[in-house]
């Protein structure tokens, strides 16, 4: 799969959350980070120079491939800026086999009690951006997830606070490899696991495993 990097074997039953940052072309790149909610790592990353349309073309077959391997529909959210709105709509229309789910922007809350908007994809605005960056900085700095891709790691080193106090890519650098895992991390907090087929015991085992991981982080 050209433009994709796969760092480990993908397992049956894994639930993936995909955050994508769209490009308008030029030196900027489309980027996407595939977060395994089971293992809390990013075993797949994607990066390609081009426009938003290119990312949809590349990622659509991978979403279906993930479902065929895991048996679980992944959830995908492109940032709505830079053509992401139309590409979310396009991905939705391409989903004829219901092998993945399109993220619907939330107004707030976590897995339970969230209120959805009607917006497909992640909407970065003056209210959501500080939350997006804050939550991801906490997760990244405290090693709550594992990021394998060195290109993605390197971009985090040039993501700085500007003179106005706004976190952004340093001059001459890009933030697509920061924003895409940050979006995936927001999905981690609100999107629940839905098993397409298989014994109920597998779902219960998944829930218990993730509870144990969360408890261990809290020292319980």
Residue 204 lies in a domain: no
For 136-194, write each residue's pLDDT tens digit.
999 999 999 999 999 999 888 876 566 566 666 556 656 788 899 999 999 999 998 75
Tokens matching residue 143:
């090693």
Using a pLDDT cut of 90, give the percent of the chain over it.
54
Residue 202 lies in a domain: no
Residue 215 lies in a domain: no
More confident residue, 114 or 96: 96
Residue 43 lies in a domain: yes
pTM: 0.82
Residue 219 lies in a domain: no
Residue 92 lies in a domain: yes
Residue 210 lies in a domain: no
Residue 84 lies in a domain: yes
Q: Which domain holds residue 168?
A: 4-195
Buried b / exposed e along 148-186 (16+ C-beta atoms within 10 A): ebeebeebbeebeeeeeeebbbeeeebbbbbbbbbbbbb
CATH number, domain with residue 153: 3.30.420.240
Asked whether the predicted pLDDT for residue 104 surpasses 90, the reply is yes
User: What is the total count of domains within the chain?
Assistant: 1
């Amino acid at each position: 799969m050209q433009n994709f990097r796969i760092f480990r074997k993908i397992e049956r039953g894994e639930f993936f959350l995909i955050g994508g940052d769209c490009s308008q072309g030029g030196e900027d790149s489309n980027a996407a980070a595939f977060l395994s909610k089971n293992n809390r790592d990013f075993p797949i990353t994607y990066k390609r120079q081009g426009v938003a349309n290119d990312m949809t073309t590349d990622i659509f077959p991978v979403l279906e491939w993930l479902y065929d391997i895991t048996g679980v529909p992944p959830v995908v959210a492109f940032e709505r800026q830079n053509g992401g709105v139309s590409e979310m709509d396009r991905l939705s229309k391409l989903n004829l086999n219901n092998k993945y789910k399109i993220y619907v922007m939330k107004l707030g809350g976590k897995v339970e009690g969230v209120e959805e908007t009607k917006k497909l994809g992640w909407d970065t605005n003056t209210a959501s951006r500080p939350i997006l960056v804050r939550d991801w900085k906490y997760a990244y700095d405290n090693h709550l997830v594992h990021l394998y891709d060195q290109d993605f790691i390197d971009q985090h080193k040039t993501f700085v606070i500007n003179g106005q106090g706004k976190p952004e890519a340093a001059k001459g650098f890009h933030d697509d490899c920061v924003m895409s895992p940050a979006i995936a991390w927001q999905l981690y907090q609100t999107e629940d696991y839905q098993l397409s087929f298989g014994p109920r015991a597998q779902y219960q085992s998944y829930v218990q495993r993730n509870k144990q991981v969360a408890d261990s982080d809290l020292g319980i």
